[in-house]
Amino acid sequence: MIGSIKETKEILEKYKLKARKSFGQNFLVDSNIINKIVTSAGLTKQDGVIEIGPGIGAMTEVMLEKTKKVLCYEIDSNMTRVLREEINSDDLIIKEEDFLKADINKDLENFVDCERVLVISNLPYYITTPIIFKLLECENRIDEFYFMVQKEVGARLTGKPKTKDYNSLSVLIEYQADAQLLFDVKRNCFYPAPDVDSVIIKLKKVKREYEAKNRGLFVKFVQDVFAMRRKTFINNLLNKYPISRENITTQLRNYGFSETLRAEELTTRELVDMFNVLF
Ligand code: SAM
């Protein structure tokens, strides 16, 4: 089994490799955690899995046992060489490329014979947010995601209004998905151990009954109103948009909000409402 500290060190030694920090390489070496992630997803032999950054294949190996097939994107050719040589399975499709440049919709053709397609990944932390947004924004059949992320990022991704973790990221996730923190993963479950603890989160894509008039502008609006946390909603807006204080105040009052309101007090739905009436 690849996902143990002994075997991970042996494989790295065998291929004369070192974990590359620039690619966010921290390998999972705790088989209980690997099994817990895979079990959480309730995988069956009818399912297909997309894995981003399989590394030397600790999770890949276990997922191949539980599903019909796994398609993985790995940027590092050293890792894909290990995968090809250590995992002998016709059900593994390896894409040696940067996931951020991948054509997911085209690659989904590999899963025509699968009932569901899920994404399960111990993410490279330096590109957590772009990966998540690429997946959520893609119009396709994938709607369930299990991600290992840095603990603080997990708190923000699942943050609720009026808490310290609630920010633009929480809103932009909530706008398109139900987010759930599943469980903690300590830093010593990885080799090499990172400086941070981690969490597993589950995202389930949803279609809300409310919608911003313009998605791109709404994303910018949310980032702008949270830009300076201690500033009021009005002052953050005045900083960025040619819009009058009176106009914003009137709309806030119409919705029963005070002028001193801060963005962190508004739910995603309320932010969508404010965006739609102001722009
Ligand atoms: N899944 C393995 C595990 O759990 O042991 C490795 C996880 S490691 C945190 C992240 C992996 O993502 C590394 O193998 C790294 O090479 C890969 N990676 C980094 N940037 C990537 C990118 N842009 N596209 C695809 N893979 C990437």
Averaged over successive runs of 10 residues, the pLDDT of the chain (279 residues) comes to: 91 98 98 97 98 98 98 98 97 98 97 98 98 94 97 98 97 98 98 97 97 97 95 96 96 95 97 97
Degrees (nearest 5) of the Cα angle 240, 246, 251?
90
5-205 architecture in CATH? Answer: 3-Layer(aba) Sandwich (3.40)
CATH code of domain 215-278: 1.10.8.100
Q: Ligand 1: which of 8, 11, 23 to mutate, judged by most atoms within 8 Å of the beta carbon?
A: 23
Ligand 1 atom nearest 99 alpha carbon: 24
Domain ranges, ordered by start, for the chain: 5-205, 215-278
- What does the pLDDT read at residue 81? 98
- What does the pLDDT read at residue 1? 78
**Tokens representing residue 48 in the block:** 């297909």
**3-state SS string over 206-274?**
CCCCCCCCCHHHHHHHHHHHCCCCCCCHHHHHHHHCCCCHHHHHHHHHHCCCCCCCCHHHCCHHHHHHH
Which residues, other chains included, contact 148 with Cβ-Cβ below 8 Å and sequence gap of 6+? 28, 37, 121, 122, 123, 185, 198, 199, 200
Give me ligand 1 centre to Cα 248, in Å. Answer: 45
CA 61/CA 255 separation, integer angstroms: 53
The pTM of the full predicted model, rounded to 2 decimals, is: 0.96
Order the strands of the 144-150 sheet from edge to edge: 92-95, 69-73, 48-52, 117-122, 144-150, 198-205, 177-185
Q: Ligand 1: which of 49, 70, 94, 122 to mutate, judged by most atoms within 8 Å of the beta carbon?
A: 122
- What does the pLDDT read at residue 167? 96
